[in-house]
């Protein structure tokens, strides 16, 4: 895991197309903004887990 320190207003660029901006810090919580292309799904961890739990199983190309 890469751990970076950023101040409010500073950004992290991922793969040249995803921009993560620190928008605020209050106590032990950081508020971030994420700009990503429409084809990149961005979810909180608990939403991602729920989505995976209820998603239809995907057949692999070799299983067809």
List, for residues 38-49, the tens digit of each pLDDT value.
999 999 999 999
List, for residues 14-37, the tens digit of each pLDDT value.
999 999 999 999 999 999 999 999
The three-class DSSP label of residue 26 is strand
Q: Structure tokens of 34?
A: 């994420």
Contact between 32 and 23 (Cβ < 8 Å): yes
Contact between 64 and 56 (Cβ < 8 Å): no
The candidate with the shortest Cα–Cα distance to 21, out of 30, 32, 31, 13, is 32
25: left (phi over 0), alpha (psi -120 to 50) or beta: beta
């Amino acid at each position: 895991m890469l751990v970076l320190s950023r101040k409010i207003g500073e950004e992290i660029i991922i793969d040249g197309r995803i921009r993560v901006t620190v928008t605020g810090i209050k106590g032990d919580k950081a508020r971030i903004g994420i700009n990503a292309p429409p084809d990149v799904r961005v979810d909180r961890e608990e939403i991602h887990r729920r989505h995976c739990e209820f998603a239809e199983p995907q057949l692999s190309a070799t299983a067809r």
